[in-house]
Amino acid sequence: MKIIHRILKFIQNKPQASDQLGRTLGLGKEDLQQKVSKDGSVSTDVLEKICELYPELNPIWLVTGKGEMLIDDYHEVGKAMENVESQDGIYNVIAGKDVEIQLLKEHIQGLNELIRVKNKLIEEYKNA
């Protein structure tokens, strides 16, 4: 199921959300239905606005389909996001993780080379 389908599922469970979301995003019900029928994508701006308008909507479910649609305790999401103060903060966290991943990959390559050298020495020792 795509994000647009999950948005529709949320709206079906909360009928008043459809009108509010449409007004806020400048979309009518037909526009949203057209996006679904064309299996359209949703911009990050729309996702951000939906998350702002509906704090009870689980953003992880919205994006990935995992977990529950609604959050029982909005404060749990707040705790997870408390270190991220802005959209730039999110990008900085992601960029930092990308750098960390690259460093770990390089470390793994070094360890693999070390294993290769040790295995070669073991073979030479066995053959001596």
Render pLDDT for 101-124 as a digit per residue (tens, 0 to 9): 888 888 899 999 999 999 999 999
84: confidence class by pLDDT, cuts 50, 70, 90: very low
Q: For the whole prediction, is pTM greater than 0.75?
A: no
Q: Domain boundaries in the chain? A: 1-82, 85-128
CB 47 within 8 A of CB 16: no
CB 52 within 8 A of CB 77: no
Question: What are 13-46's pLDDT values in tens digits?
Answer: 776 666 677 676 666 666 666 665 566 677 787 7
d(CA 88, CA 54): 21
Model pLDDT, residue 88: 59
- Average pLDDT for 79-101: 64
- C-alpha count within 13 angstroms, C-beta hemisphere, residue 20: 12
Domain boundaries 1-82, CATH class: mainly alpha
Comparing 20-29, 59-68, 77-86, the range with the smallest average pLDDT is 77-86
